[in-house]
Amino acid sequence: MAAYLLCLTTDGGIPLFTRTKGDLPQLPFPVVGSLNGVHMFAKNQGVTLHNTLTDEAKVVWKVFKDSITLIIVTSDDNASDHHLNSVLDHVFNSMCCYSLIDSLLEGTDLVGDLTKAVDVILCPDVSILQEFLDNFIAGVESEFGCLLVLGKVAVATERWWELTGMETVLLSLLVHSLPPCSSRDVLVYLPYGSPKVPHRLVTFQIIEGIEVCVICGPSPTLQDIETKFLDQYWRPTVDTLKSCLRSHPRNLPPAITVDSSILGFILINTDERKCLTSVYPSGVVTGSDGLTLPIVRRKSALTAFFKSIVGTLFPPVPPLTDEKAPSSNLTSSLPHQAVETYACAVDHKCYAVRTDAHQLFVIFNKDVPVYSMGWV
In three-state form (DSSP H/G/I as H, E/B as E, the rest C), the secondary structure along 220-250 is: CCHHHHHHHHHHHHHHHHHHHHHHHHHHCCC
Rounded to whole angstroms, the maximal C-alpha distance in the chain is: 66
Residue 234 shares a structural domain with residue 304 = no
pTM of the model: 0.92
Residue-wise pLDDT for 54-82, tens only, equals: 888 899 999 999 999 999 999 877 777 88
Give me the chain's average pLDDT, please. Answer: 90
Residue 123 shares a structural domain with residue 240 = yes
CA pair distance 83, 114, nearest whole angstrom: 7
Residue 126 shares a structural domain with residue 172 = yes
Question: How does residue 317 score in pLDDT terms, banded at 50, 70 and 90?
Answer: confident
Residue 91 shares a structural domain with residue 203 = no
Closest CA to 197 of 178, 216, 174, 170: 216
Residue 97 shares a structural domain with residue 122 = no
Q: Is 308 inside any structural domain?
A: yes
Residue 308 shares a structural domain with residue 284 = yes
| Structure confidence at residue 285 (pLDDT) | 57
The amino acid sitting at 50 is H
Closest CA to 83 of 292, 301, 314: 314
The amino acid sitting at 94 is S
CB atoms within 10 A of CB 220: 19
Average pLDDT over residues 293-309: 94
Residue 128 shares a structural domain with residue 242 = yes
3-state secondary structure of 10: coil
Residue 268 shares a structural domain with residue 356 = yes
Going 220 to 224 to 230 to 231, the CA torsion angle's sign is negative
pLDDT above 90 (res 218): yes
Average pLDDT over residues 210-227: 95
Task: Name the residue range of residue 368's domain.
Answer: 262-317+335-372
Highest mean pLDDT among 9-18, 148-157, 309-318: 148-157
Q: 146-155, 240-249, 283-292, 344-353: lowest mean pLDDT where?
A: 283-292
| Structure confidence at residue 27 (pLDDT) | 85
Q: Is 130 inside any structural domain?
A: yes
Residue-wise pLDDT for 324-352, tens only, equals: 544 445 555 566 789 999 999 999 999 99
C-alpha pair distances (Å), 200 with each of 213, 218, 248: 10, 7, 29
| Structure confidence at residue 321 (pLDDT) | 46
Average pLDDT over residues 194-212: 96
Residue 300 shares a structural domain with residue 229 = no
The amino acid sitting at 26 is Q
CATH number at 227 reads: 3.30.450.30
CATH number at 63 reads: 3.30.450.70
| Structure confidence at residue 1 (pLDDT) | 64
Domain end among 247, 279, 297: 247
Q: 35-44, 152-161, 169-178, 268-277: lowest mean pLDDT where?
A: 35-44
Residue-wise pLDDT for 98-129, tens only, equals: 999 999 998 889 999 999 999 999 999 999 99
Domain end among 247, 282, 301: 247
Q: 259-263, 267-271, 285-289: lowest mean pLDDT where?
A: 285-289
3-state secondary structure of 127: helix
Residue 89 shares a structural domain with residue 35 = yes
Residue 127 shares a structural domain with residue 158 = yes
3-state secondary structure of 375: coil
Ramachandran category for residue 362: left, alpha or beta (phi over 0 → left; psi -120 to 50 → alpha): beta
CA pair distance 66, 49, nearest whole angstrom: 14
The strands making up 118-119's β-sheet, listed across from edge to edge, are 118-119, 274-278, 262-269, 358-365, 348-354, 340-344
3-state secondary structure of 39: helix
Residue 27 shares a structural domain with residue 53 = yes
Domain end among 69, 84, 106: 106
C-alpha pair distances (Å), 68 with each of 12, 41, 74, 193: 10, 16, 20, 21
What is the tally of structural domains in the chain? 3
CATH number at 358 reads: 3.30.450
